[in-house]
Amino acid sequence: MSVATLPSDDAVQEPAPRSSPVRAEGRVELRFARRGAATRLSHLYQRDPCRVLFPNVQAGEPPLGVIVTTSGGVVGGDSLTYSIHAGRRTNCTVTTQAAEKIYRSDGAASTIDVRLRAGADAACEWVPQETILFDRARLRRATTVDLGPRARLIAGEMVVFGRAAHGERVLDGLLHDSWRVRRSGRLVWADALALDGDIGEIMGHPASFGGAAAVATMIYCGEDAPARVYAVRAALSAVASGCRAGASCIGDVLVTRLLGADIVAVREAFAGLWARLRSEAMGRAPRTPRLWNM
C-alpha cells in the first residue's frame, strides 16, 4: 500500500517532495482466560489492516478467532504482529480467513511476527491458511512459542511459491522463516528456512525441494508427543497422497513436514493431518474450521 503525503499548509507555494511510501503496521493481540468451566476472550487489540472475527462454533468446539488482513495482502516493508495468549487451563483455536498474499517487493522485506503463549494446562491451536509468495516477494517471518507446564499446542504454516493459477513461478526473492519453542522458559526446539536470491534454482534442485511448489510444517507440543510419532506417520500415509511427508520428535515437540508440486494435495494433506491431530491429541472433533473448506 502506497500513500503520497499532501504538502503542508505553509508549503503551498512550493510543494514539498513526496515522502517514502507509508507502510502498514498491523497488529492483533488476543488473550483468552478461564471463566468458570469455559474459555472466554479477555483481551482484544487490533490495528489496521488487521481485524479479528469470532464466528459461532459447533457444539464442543473451543472459541475460534479468525484474523483478517483487510488490505488484501502484504507489500514490501509492511509489518504484521500476531500475539496470542491462551491463559491457564484455556482452550482456543486461531486461524486466518484466507491465504495471505505476499506481493512483489521493490526491495524492502515484509515482516510477520507471531507470538504464541500457552499457560499451564492450556490447549491452543494456531493454524493459519497458506502464505502465497509472489515472484520477487521478500518476507521475514518469526514464530516464537512459550509454553507453560503441561500446555499443549498445535501450530503450522504452509508456504506456496507462486500463483499456480497464473502459471507464475517464484524465480527470485527472499524467505526467512524461523521458529523458536520454549517450555517453561527453556529453548526446546529451533528451526529456520532461509531462501535468498535465485529461489527458482533452489526449488528445482533435486537435493533441496525437488521441484516442489508448496511446503508445510506442523508441530505438536505436548508431554505425549513422543508416543504419537508412529500414529502421525500412519496418518500421513493416509492423507499425504500426492506429496512427500515425514515426522520426527525432538523432546516433546513433534515436527511434521509436507512437500509437493501439487499445491492442492499439500493443502489437503496439511488440513487432514491437523484434523486428525486435534482429534487424537486434544479430544476435539476431527475437522478443520468451516472457512477452510470455502
pLDDT of res. 5: 32
Using a pLDDT cut of 90, give the percent of the chain over it: 80
pLDDT one-digit tens code per residue, 37-67:
999 999 999 999 999 999 999 998 999 999 9
Mean pLDDT on 148-163: 96
Judged against a pLDDT cut of 50, whether residue 13 lies above it is answered with no
Higher-pLDDT residue of 87, 206: 87
Q: Which one, of 247, 172, 253, lies nearest residue 216 by Cα? A: 247
Residue type, 126: W
Phi-psi region of 284 (alpha: psi -120 to 50; beta: other; left: phi over 0): beta
Judged against a pLDDT cut of 90, whether residue 246 lies above it is answered with yes
Question: What letter would DSSP give residue 286?
Answer: S
Judged against a pLDDT cut of 60, whether residue 117 lies above it is answered with yes
Q: Supply the Cα-derived Rg of the chain in whole angstroms.
A: 20
pLDDT of res. 12: 33
62 with 91: CB under 8 angstroms?
yes
How many CB atoms within 10 Å of residue 143? 22
Q: Which residues contact 66 (CB under 8 A, 6 or more apart)?
A: 52, 53, 54, 55, 94, 95, 96, 97, 289, 291
Band (251; pLDDT cuts 50, 70, 90): very high
Band (175; pLDDT cuts 50, 70, 90): very high
What spatial distance separates the first Cα and last Cα of the chain, rounded to whole Å? 27
Band (163; pLDDT cuts 50, 70, 90): confident
pLDDT one-digit tens code per residue, 179-225:
999 999 999 999 999 999 999 898 889 888 899 999 999 999 999 99
Cell numbers linked to 143: 514464530
pLDDT of res. 167: 76
Cell numbers linked to 179: 521458529
68 with 99: CB under 8 angstroms?
no
pTM tops 0.85, yes or no: yes
pLDDT of res. 21: 60
Which residues lie across from 126 on neighbouring strands?
Answer: 94, 155
Strand ranges of the sheet holding 25-35, from the earlier edge strand across to the other edge: 38-47, 25-35, 79-86, 110-118, 138-147, 173-183, 186-197
Using a CB cutoff of 8 Å and minimum separation of 24, what contacts does 46-51 make?
48/24, 49/1, 49/24, 50/26, 50/80, 50/82
